[in-house]
Structure 1
Amino acid sequence: MGAQRGKDLLLKLDFEQDGTFNTVAGIRSRKLTFNAETVDITNSDSAGRWRELLDGAGVRRASVSGSGLFKDASSDASVRELFFDGAIRTWQIVIPDFGTVSGPFQLTSVEYAGEHDGEVTYDLALESAGAIAFEAA
C-alpha cells in the first residue's frame, strides 16, 4: 500500500441494521488498531528459559478511534443514542487501497470539546464486540 490521504479512511455505521452503511461524521483524525493477547505456556522445560506462547489461543480485538465534526444533527443523535443505550451495531472502516474491516462494535467513549472561537468537535472510541471480517480492496 502506497501513501494515501488520511481523509479517505472512512468510518461508516449500519444504524438501522439493514445492511445500509452511512458515513457518520467528518472525521479529521482516525485510527484502527488490531490487538491479540497471548497465552503464556512457559514452564521449567522451556528451551533456554525462553517464553513460549500457545498458538491461536489469545483473544483478538479491534479498536477504532476518531475525532472531528459530526456531519449533521442526525449523525450526532445516532452516535449519542448508541452510547447511552450501550448498543452494539455493525460498523465499517474503509481503508483506501487496502480493504474494508467490518463487524460489531460498541461505542465506548464519546467526548465533546469546543473553543470559544471555534466549532464543537468530538472524539469517539469503538471496541469490537464479535468476529471482525476483512475484505481486500
Structure 2
Amino acid sequence: MPKISGMKVKLYIKDAVTGKLLAGQRNATLNRSAESIDATSKDTAGFWKESIQGFKEFSIDADGAFVESDEAYKILETAYLNSENVDVYLEMPSGKKYEGNCTITDFSLEFPYDDLVTYSISLQGSGALNIVEDE
C-alpha cells in the first residue's frame, strides 16, 4: 500500500453549489470517537468487563496562513457570525471524502508582529460523518 502525504489531503467548505478549497491550509485533523456502553452482566466470562459502541461523534481541527480574499474563509466567517452550521469535507488524493455538517466552535485569527497572519478553526460534527468513495 502506498503511503499518503498529509499535504495532499485538503479541507473544503461547501457553498450552495460546490466545495471551496480553504486557502492557506497547513494542518487538518479528523477526530472520531464513540461512547463506550458497559455491557457487562452475570453471563460475562470470568471477571472481565464487556462494552459495546454507543453514540459516535466527529470533529475537524485545521489551521493555516490567512488569505483575506479566500471564498471558503468568507463562507466560514459568515456562517460563524450568523450562528449557522457549515457543510465540509476532507478530500484524499484518491478522491475519497470524509464529509459532514459542522458547528463552528472555535475560529481564531493570530496577528504576530513578525510572522504571517494565521487562522485556526474547530468544527464539531452535527450528525453523521459520511465517507464517499470516488467513483
TM-score band by shorter chain is 0.7 to 0.9
The question of whether the paired residues in 2 share the 8 Å contact of 1:106 and 1:129 is answered with: yes
C-alpha displacement of 1:76? 3.4
For structure 2, the residue ranges without an aligned partner over 5 or more in a row are none
CA separation of 1:91 and 1:61: change in aligned 2, threshold 3 A = same
- Alignment partners' CA distance in 2, 1:44 and 1:98: 48
The equivalent of 1:27 in structure 2 is 25
- Deviation digits for residues 65-90 of structure 1 (CA, Å, limit 9, x no counterpart): 11102333344332222223221121
TM-score, normalised on structure 1?
0.83
> Structure 1 segments of 4 or more deviating over 4 A?
none
Between Structure 1 and Structure 2, how many residues are aligned? 133
TM-score, normalised on structure 2?
0.84
- Alignment partners' CA distance in 2, 1:65 and 1:87: 18
The equivalent of 1:10 in structure 2 is 10
The question of whether the paired residues in 1 share the 8 Å contact of 2:13 and 2:72 is answered with: no
CA separation of 1:108 and 1:27: change in aligned 2, threshold 3 A = same
- Alignment partners' CA distance in 1, 2:81 and 2:46: 51
- Alignment partners' CA distance in 1, 2:120 and 2:64: 7
In angstroms, what is the RMSD of aligned CA positions?
2.0
The question of whether the paired residues in 2 share the 8 Å contact of 1:7 and 1:27 is answered with: no
- Alignment partners' CA distance in 1, 2:49 and 2:25: 41
Tell me if 1:97 matches 2:123: no
CA separation of 1:75 and 1:51: change in aligned 2, threshold 3 A = same
Tell me if 1:72 matches 2:71: no
The one-letter code matched in structure 2 to 1:94 is E
- Name the SS for the 1:131 alignment partner: coil
Residue identity over aligned pairs, in percent, reads: 23
Among 112, 118, 122, the residue aligned to 1:121: 118
The equivalent of 2:83 in structure 1 is 86
